[in-house]
A = this chain, B = another copy of it.
Amino acid sequence: MDLSRAAAATLDAADELAPFRDRFVIADDALLYLDGNSLGRLPRETPAALARVVEEQWGRGLVGSWADWIGRATEVGDVIGTGVLGARPGEVLVSDSTSVDLYKLLVAGADARPGRDVLVCCADDFPTDRYLVAGAAAARGMEVREIPADIDEGLDLDVLAAALDERVAVVVLSAVAYRSGALPDLAAVTRLVHDAGALVLWDLSHAAGAVPVELDAVGADLAVGCTYKYLNGGPGAPAFLYVRRELQDELRQPIWGWFGQRDQFAMGPAYDPAPGIERFGVGTPPVLATAAVEVGARLVAEAGIEALAAKGRALTDLVVALADEHLAPHGVVLASPRDAARRGSHVSLAHPQAWQITQALVDRGVVPDFRTPDRVRLGCAPLYTRFVDVWDAMDRFRAVLAEGAHEAYPTERSRVT
């Protein structure tokens, strides 16, 4: 691989997705933003879409706008489901936060496997997933099997297989590991879990918009995910949940709110869950925030998930090659799968002073994430990240290490990393 900046510029010139960068607000063109997997950039269309909902629908239409709003959670769910996740219409709902959605589907799944008393998760799952599994298990008197995973290479299918038996009700796993980006074989995992008679619940937070997950094709049961990362829905945007069509009427989620109720304005005496995906709703849907989610998700669908994933692999391949060439001599070690086909659109680099390096990079106009224990995580959101951005960021990373600039930064961490 030609590791010159000119070669990176050539890749940009040939990039068919390059025009999508202009669809986003780039307030500071010199900022090298490699954190779109934490918070996606603001699409240019979003302020106008929000203004339309706020000023026309809320301000002018007032309560009458509910005739339109009432369907938004499923309509935008379908944009995500059919446009990004390989789901069928009516399988995805925009609702609550990723954490609340995971709780709902986890409990619904466990209830659908009576007599089974084990929940499986992975020690390297994102904390909220592990905490939620622990909480649900504690409340239900179930046991948690937290299977180990290499924090760089991800889940080993043999380890998973060994943890599965007739006691397992639900298996919670990340489609793309939040730290390393490791991407398991979703179809193979699903087969293993189904062979054990259990349900699989995917956390797609770092996968949706980065890699194809093909939920229908792989036979997935349940999934949740975040819309403010690669889907560019804005900070704290409502999450999405997926329930395979064939499972919907069998499952009941535990939070019996009126937006999961059949014909909720009849305000009937007893909870009677709506048919289909709507039964997984709870409270009044977040109308304003959902408008922002729609804009971001439509951009991803328009670009096409296969093209995005291909560019993501190329971008992260460039990170890996430059790290090998320029950072390894300074003690930086790749902390993600080396094979691009086995990872999402971000990679992590390990260094004992990762937190200090992260601070030094931010001061030099590069935005990565620090992740425990000693990782600098570099997200290459393919919709708007250029190859030269990666090259320039890695060049500054090299300079920080060469100059020892990171040594001047505190080792104590800030509250938000």
Q: Which residues of A contact B (CB under 8 A)?
A: 25, 27-28, 31, 33, 35, 38-39, 41-42, 46-47, 50-51, 54-55, 57-60, 62-67, 69-70, 96-100, 103, 107, 123, 126-128, 130-132, 134-136, 139, 226, 228, 234-239, 254-259, 261, 263-271, 282-290, 292, 362, 367, 369, 371-372, 413-417
- A130 — which chain B residues lie within 8 A by C-beta? 269, 271
Q: How far is the CA of A35 from the CA of B60 in the complex (A)?
A: 13
- A132 — which chain B residues lie within 8 A by C-beta? 255-257
**Do B417 and A134 have beta carbons less than 8 Å apart?**
no
Q: How far is the CA of A237 from the CA of B417 in the complex (A)?
A: 27
- A254 — which chain B residues lie within 8 A by C-beta? 103, 135-136, 139
Find the residue from A47, A63, A107, A228 having the highest chain B CB count within 10 A: A63
- A228 — which chain B residues lie within 8 A by C-beta? 284
Contact for A235 among B259, B270, B288, B292, CB less than 8 A: B288
Which partner residue on chain B sits nearest A370 by CB separation? B265
- Give the shortest distance, in Å, between A391 (CB) and chain B (any CB): 20
**Do B25 and A59 have beta carbons less than 8 Å apart?**
yes
**Do B35 and A59 have beta carbons less than 8 Å apart?**
no
- A268 — which chain B residues lie within 8 A by C-beta? 127
**Do A100 and B282 have beta carbons less than 8 Å apart?**
yes
Mind listing 21 A-B residue pairs with CB under 8 Å? A25-B60, A35-B62, A39-B58, A46-B54, A47-B51, A62-B367, A66-B416, A69-B235, A96-B283, A97-B282, A97-B283, A98-B284, A99-B255, A126-B258, A127-B267, A127-B268, A128-B283, A130-B271, A131-B261, A134-B271, A266-B372
**Do A128 and B258 have beta carbons less than 8 Å apart?**
yes
**Do A99 and B283 have beta carbons less than 8 Å apart?**
yes
Contact for A100 among B39, B62, B255, CB less than 8 A: B255
**Do B98 and A96 have beta carbons less than 8 Å apart?**
no
- A265 — which chain B residues lie within 8 A by C-beta? 413, 415-417
Contact for A67 among B51, B237, B416, CB less than 8 A: B416
- A59 — which chain B residues lie within 8 A by C-beta? 25, 27, 41-42
Contacts A282-B100, A413-B265 given; indicate if A25 touches B289 (C-beta within 8 A): no
